[in-house]
Structure 1
Amino acid sequence: MPISFANIPATIKIPLYWVEVDPSMAGLPSINLRALMVGIMTADGDAEPDVPIPIGSQAQADMRFGQGSELSRMFMAYFNNNFANEVWGLPLAEPVGAAAATGTITVMKVPDEAGTIHLYIAGTHVPVNVHTTDTVDNIASAIEAAINADDTLPVTAAAAAGVVTLTAMWKGILTNDITVSLNYFGARGGEKLPVGLDITLPTNGLLSGGVGTPDFDDAISAMGETPFEYVAMPYTDTNSLFEWDQEFGFTDQGRWGFERQLFGHVFSAKRGSYPDLLLFGLTLNSGVESIMGFEVGSPSPCFEWAAAYAAKAQRALVNDPARPLQALSLNRVRAAPFHEQFDFVELNSLASSGIAIQKLGGDKQPMIAREQTTYQLNLYGQTDDAYELVTTLATLAKLLRNQRHAISSKFPRHKLANDGTRFGPGQAIVTPGIIKGELIAQYQQDMWSGLVEDLRNFKRHLLVERDPDNPNRLNVLYPPDLINQLRIFAVLAQFRLQYDRGIDNVIIGQNQPPYNAASNA
């Protein structure tokens, strides 16, 4: 019986018609590339700490993690940038012994005219109306009431004697990244303090005193083998980045390792001056982590930048993992004022030092300029660009998943023979040549999908062979040529004020038949 059946017994005697269904030649590779937001929850949330759960709306995020919490605010940024893809939340408990950051707003002098205080807390507009009859205590109380009336804010407020004390909603080091500012859009945007009013804000416009970094051991363990392709993880201290690199990296136990084959990327963000970010980037070297640097003057906290970055990356890479992320707007996050934004030299140097970069787009929103990973050096400490872009591993993951689906679907229970073996049609037998043909066919499909190029050289370098020490094993050298991206368009504008007419005449004479006056009479 040459045809290999999987279920119908070869010894069946009962008539007549028996059929088994084989889907191996019909299925297409399909996987849900979900995102994961990682952040601290508050006591108001009802989620179990360290256990990832799916989230479908902002209302769910608020209920599960607490309104105004770090994780709730991350979901606000996520849903403003991605409304279509699956996302989960990984709530973290407040670190043991942690402290919440605080800051004060002090009303020094009452206004000479009525108006509006355009206050911004973590980039969220909090308007406060004031009148000439108000005292400093009245104004401080009005600020307190306006802040506490907005449940989405990451702070609470308490007023006394003209001073408003702000306290972060949760405890941890990233509460130091909560900003307090005035008049983001300036006088041209209709925002200015009423004449005579004098207000002081926290030093550098940031809360301070926040202490405590989460312990990720239980949270990472609870993720198990659930695939999470795009992780927004806003903590950029050395220990946190190391733990997440180990989970997603290329070691045997990492998600890019051969044992797990789950793949994925970690996205983060960091506020800093140009020198600080440059030096910070030079200390890192991970192909699976991408940290976006942004200016000190941005009103939006780093955890919202990280969430927006991961959301836009997911939305784009799910559709096509090989297209660059440049020019994708990061909605909801607010850019630094014009005069504080990084210039060309600074952005170029940051990208050369393992920092993902952003710049202001035409819609006046920050946009991704280059999705750089922190990878810069090979194992010997020599400069290397193999994993420097998020799209490289995103494309490779797509190729490997396509290949795994083709092999596991079409050859799940096959016998293995040498090339040249004669066997009947329909037999569940493969040879190195059959597998090589399948890999070439899959490569052609991937090339048609715009993931790879150069089929000719792929065929030349592809090797499929039986293992000399294990007759049941095939070894494959798979050499895909990943498609590249249009990132630089360089033009030499070699202009002239006027072309040399004599040279033109010589050229015209060479390319045209001789002039015949008679034939043109």
Structure 2
Amino acid sequence: MSISFDDIPSSLRTPGAHIEFNNELAGSANVLHKMVVIGQRLGTGIQSAGVPIRVTDPSRAKTLFGRGSMIANMIAASLDANTETELWAIALDDLGAGVAATGSIAVTTAATEAGTLYIYIGGVRVAVGIADGDDTDTIASSISAAINSNADLPVTASGSTSTVTLTARHKGEYMNGLDVRSSYYEEREPDGLAITYTSLSGGSGNPDIGPALDAMGDEWFNWLCNPYNDTANIQALETELDSRFGPMRQIGCRAFGALAGTLATMGTWGSSRNNPHLSVLGTGTSPTPTYIAAAINMAVAAKSLSNDPARPLQTLELPGVKAPRREELLTRQERNLLLYDGISTFTVARDGTVQIERQITTYQFNSAGLADASYLDICTPETLERFRYEQRAMVAQKYPRHKLADDGTSYGAGQAIVMPKIIKGELLALYKEMEIAGWVEDYDTYAEQLIVERDSEDPNRINWRDTPNLVNQARVFAGKTQFIVK
């Protein structure tokens, strides 16, 4: 008997027709991609810290992690941008030794007419009614009441005089710089009213992201949202990302973050990082908190990359991210500088819509410290990840329990035997499929340079070396017009 059966024994003597099924030629299913959000919870939530949980509903997230918590708001922002990709969350507790950031709203002059004041806390609008004759203390009290009536805001308000004190719901430095302003959309304010806004500051002590990374275990999460920019957490994250991408784990993950501040601040921070799996969006003076912008960026990118890892993300809208004031937008030249500092950029359409301009990683230099653009765009590690997965899936699906022989071996038809030339043929066929999908190009060169051989030291092992030519992205179009005047 030459055919290799899995379940039907060769010693069978009882009469009957026995047919077994084998799925080695059936192909494999598509990858079920996953996103994961890491952030802080409140004590009012029922979900324990450090335990991954799948979330599909923003209202459920509020129950799990507490209304107004960092992670609940990140989940809401993610789901608003992408409900198709599976979303998980891992909560962290505030650092006990941390300090909550504070800010203020000082009413310096009362209004001379009744009206409505629109205050924006981290980009979220709060309407405050002002009656004719209200003094500064009354107006401040109305502001406090309006803010505290929205339990989803990241701050609480207090104060009995003309100054309202804003306190972050969580401890940590991530809330420093939380934007507080009025009339983002240039809403008319009551005449005579004068208010001074002070953004939050003084927060310190972010929690350690390590327990959340440990909680991920060996589960494959394709995209991660990280709300922290302190060096200790970023280094821990980069170490984990490198490990996941490595050949012994092969569960690569791209992490998304965001960074606010001036051009110099963002450029300096970006220049200090160098990782092919970390992408950080420079939000400048956007009123949207960085942790919310990062969650939206992750969700939007995941939706596109899950469909096609090689297709650029430029022009995709970031719903929920508010643009800086027109006069505070970075110029093209300034954004170009950021792209050389490892910071991703956005543009703003005429209607105020924020759109991805170029999604890059923080990778900028090779191991020798020389400039290297090999992992510049996020599409590169994403395409490599998918390329590797397809090769692994092919081997696991078609050759799960095969014997190994040298090329040219004569064996009976139907035997579960594989040879180097068979694997080479499979790799070439798979490359052609990926070329048709638009992930790679130049099949002829790939075929010419592909090496597949049996290991000279381990007869149970096949080695191969291939040189995939990843398809590029159409990003820059340049033309030279030489006109003639006669």
- TM-score for both structures, normalised by structure 2: 0.98
Kindly provide the amino acid, as one letter, of the partner of residue 237 in structure 1. Answer: D
Structure 2 counterpart of 1:368? 356
Structure 1 counterpart of 2:28? 28
- SS of the aligned residue for 1:38 comes to strand
Partner Cα separation in structure 2 for residue 425 and residue 492 of structure 1: 62
Cα pair 2:39 2:71 within 8 Å, conserved:
yes
Structure 1 counterpart of 2:178? 178
Structure 1 counterpart of 2:455? 467
CA drift at 1:363 = 4.1
Pair 1:266 & 2:262 matched: no
Q: Per-residue CA shift, 1:281-313, capped at 9, x if unaligned?
A: 111100010111111x21111001100110001
Partner Cα separation in structure 1 for residue 204 and residue 231 of structure 2: 15
Kindly provide the amino acid, as one letter, of the partner of residue 200 in structure 1. Answer: T
Structure 2 matches for 1:317-336, cutoff 5 A? 317-336=305-324
Partner Cα separation in structure 1 for residue 481 and residue 114 of structure 2: 56
Structure 1 counterpart of 2:336? 348
Structure 1 counterpart of 2:222? 229
Partner Cα separation in structure 2 for residue 72 and residue 261 of structure 1: 30
Pair 1:289 & 2:285 matched: no
Cα pair 2:171 2:206 within 8 Å, conserved:
no
Cα pair 2:113 2:133 within 8 Å, conserved:
no
Kindly provide the amino acid, as one letter, of the partner of residue 40 in structure 1. Answer: Q
Structure 1 counterpart of 2:138? 138
Partner Cα separation in structure 2 for residue 58 and residue 495 of structure 1: 58
- SS of the aligned residue for 2:167 comes to strand
Partner Cα separation in structure 2 for residue 429 and residue 130 of structure 1: 82
Q: Which moved more, 1:161-170 or 1:311-320?
A: 161-170
Partner Cα separation in structure 2 for residue 275 and residue 168 of structure 1: 26
Partner Cα separation in structure 2 for residue 32 and residue 212 of structure 1: 36
Q: Per-residue CA shift, 1:488-516, capped at 9, x if unaligned?
A: 11111222334xxxxxxxxxxxxxxxxxx
Kindly provide the amino acid, as one letter, of the partner of residue 287 in structure 1. Answer: P
Partner Cα separation in structure 1 for residue 319 and residue 308 of structure 2: 21
- SS of the aligned residue for 2:383 comes to helix
CA drift at 1:399 = 1.0
Cα pair 1:29 1:402 within 8 Å, conserved:
no
Cα pair 2:40 2:69 within 8 Å, conserved:
yes
Q: Per-residue CA shift, 1:41-88, capped at 9, x if unaligned?
A: 111111110111100010011111111111111112212211221101
Kindly provide the amino acid, as one letter, of the partner of residue 303 in structure 2. Answer: R
- TM-score for both structures, normalised by structure 1: 0.92
Structure 2 counterpart of 1:516? none
Cα pair 1:29 1:405 within 8 Å, conserved:
no
Q: Where in structure 2 are there 5+ consecutive unaligned residues?
A: none
Kindly provide the amino acid, as one letter, of the partner of residue 278 in structure 1. Answer: G
Structure 2 counterpart of 1:243? 236
Structure 1 counterpart of 2:163? 163
CA drift at 1:362 = 4.5
Structure whose residues are more often strand by fraction: 2
Partner Cα separation in structure 1 for residue 81 and residue 386 of structure 2: 23
Q: Which moved more, 1:427-436 or 1:213-222?
A: 213-222
Structure 2 counterpart of 1:313? 301
Partner Cα separation in structure 2 for residue 390 and residue 265 of structure 1: 8
Structure 2 counterpart of 1:201? 197
Partner Cα separation in structure 2 for residue 61 and residue 27 of structure 1: 37
Cα gap change, 1:17 to 1:362, in 2 (>3 Å): farther
* Root-mean-square deviation (Å): 1.1
Q: Which moved more, 1:362-371 or 1:381-390?
A: 362-371
Structure 2 counterpart of 1:513? none
Pair 1:211 & 2:204 matched: yes
Cα pair 1:120 1:182 within 8 Å, conserved:
yes
Structure 2 counterpart of 1:504? none
Larger radius of gyration: 1
Cα pair 1:54 1:89 within 8 Å, conserved:
yes
Partner Cα separation in structure 2 for residue 154 and residue 96 of structure 1: 19
Cα gap change, 1:258 to 1:91, in 2 (>3 Å): same
Pair 1:220 & 2:209 matched: no
Partner Cα separation in structure 2 for residue 138 and residue 279 of structure 1: 44
CA drift at 1:342 = 0.6
Partner Cα separation in structure 2 for residue 161 and residue 377 of structure 1: 54
Structure 1 counterpart of 2:475? 487
Partner Cα separation in structure 1 for residue 189 and residue 220 of structure 2: 50
Alignment identity in percent?
39
CA drift at 1:159 = 2.8
Structure 2 counterpart of 1:380? 368
Partner Cα separation in structure 2 for residue 343 and residue 80 of structure 1: 29
Misfit runs of 4+, over 3 Å: none
